[in-house]
Amino acid sequence: MPIFLDDATLTRFRKHYWRQCHYFVEAGCATLLPSLQIASCADNLHRLARRELVESRIVDNNAHLHLGPFADDETLPPGLLMVQGIEQYFDGIDELLKTDFGFMPRWRIDDVMASLAMGEASCGAHFDRYDVFLIQIHGTKMWQLDSGEHDERDLDPHASVRLLRDFSAKTRLTAGPGDVLYIPAGMGHFGIGEADSITLSVGVRNPTLVELVSHLADHVVDDENENSTLDEELQIGTAGIGVSDIDNLRRKLSAVLLDETLLAQWYGSYVTELREPEILASPHTPNGGTNRQLAIAESNYECALATRISFFQQAQGLIVFVNGQIYHTTEAALPWIKILCAERQVNGNQIPSEGESAQLLHALLDSGAILPRENIAYD
């Protein structure tokens, strides 16, 4: 199935557009448009906005923020309804990420947000700290873009939403159904949708170094096996802090924080964490004993829509990261784990029916991260 960035276009995009300027592709996602329109229709978005585990909000026409979930009998104020994480609920959105966004690792994608204009609506001129691909699904949306390079100091401190104090449009364009607009992090943009206009926003993870260091520190604190201390020798000298003290501190911290295994375990867990772990369906409970092993080849498996999965290969074996959890296994699992990560599904006869691969499979089934599918069509 064609993607809006083929090999030749992707090379040009990476060199001239990524993190530099906007990129617009007319009918870039036209192939999947029918299934995307079904998944992100207004009825589905209103229904999701009333769920407890779904992050939703409305920016009304007075730029006031209303946070979901919204009550079943609540009349939603006119404005822009935004619903996060819809890839966790619809096969059509999952297919979009597998095909049109298969050029990047799935764990790089933060989530897919849908925005519905209830009337002529907008969330105002703003910028994002992450890269975003905007796919027009229904209706049209008029976009104004500036030259970018904004930071938090450019925001209006008195607004309840992230609004730029000064915005001067350099580019204007109109997106129709199937069109794709890439906007790099830091670029100011202002979109106005006509009534019932629906846009999907595919956000690319772009955490700050502060966020990464904070999360890594929490991971080290939680490591019960890490009990190294700073000083091994008696220090003799003045009350001042010397260069040797700083060198010793640097060596000690580097030995812990720059350890490859620790970094891999922390980062794999970090990028596969779920915002709402409770979203996973009730775990599948396979049969016990020999029947469990024999049943592997007789079934096909696919990731739950919410599942985030990746892996890290090292000399000591394979580390698999699934929804923030860490699984250690042997390299025998690498072939089918690669398929599962890339295709989000795997044929049971590609998985060893015993040993650590079988144990890993059943652990993922028990957690609800993957599900058996008897009727999946494989190429």
Asked whether residue 121 is assigned to any structural domain, the reply reads yes
pLDDT at 225 > cutoff 70: no
Q: Would you say residue 113 lies in a domain?
A: yes
Q: What is the model's pLDDT at position 67?
A: 96
Same domain, 369 and 327: yes
pLDDT at 156: 94
For 202-228, the DSSP string reads EEEP---HHHHHHHHHHHHHH-TT---
Residues 231 and 185 in one domain: no
163 with 283, same domain? no
**Alpha-carbon torsion 63, 64, 69, 75, what sign?**
negative
Whether 369 is covered by a domain: the verdict is yes
pLDDT at 284: 47
Q: Model pTM?
A: 0.90
Residues 312 and 197 in one domain: no
Do 61 and 159 lie in a common domain? yes
* Helix (H/G/I), strand (E/B), else coil: 266: helix
Residue 151 sits in the same domain as residue 55: yes
CB burial of residue 90 (10 Å; 0-12, 13-18, 19+): buried
Write the CATH number for 366: 3.40.366.30
Structure confidence by residue, pLDDT tens digits, 174-223: 999 999 999 999 999 999 998 899 999 999 998 989 999 999 989 888 87
Residues recorded for the chain: 379
Task: Please say which residue of 176, 204, 232 terminates a domain.
Answer: 204
Range of the domain at 124: 7-204
In a domain, 265, yes or no: no
Residue 2 lies in a domain: no
For CA atoms 211, 212, 213, 216, the dihedral sign is: positive
Q: Are residues 214 and 200 part of one domain?
A: no
| 267 in a structural domain | no
User: What's the total number of domains in the chain?
Assistant: 3
Query: Is there a domain that residue 231 lies in?
Result: yes
Of 171, 204, 237, at which residue does a domain stop? 204
User: Is there a domain that residue 270 lies in?
Assistant: no
pLDDT value, residue 189? 98
- Cis amide prior to 2 (ω within 30 degrees): no
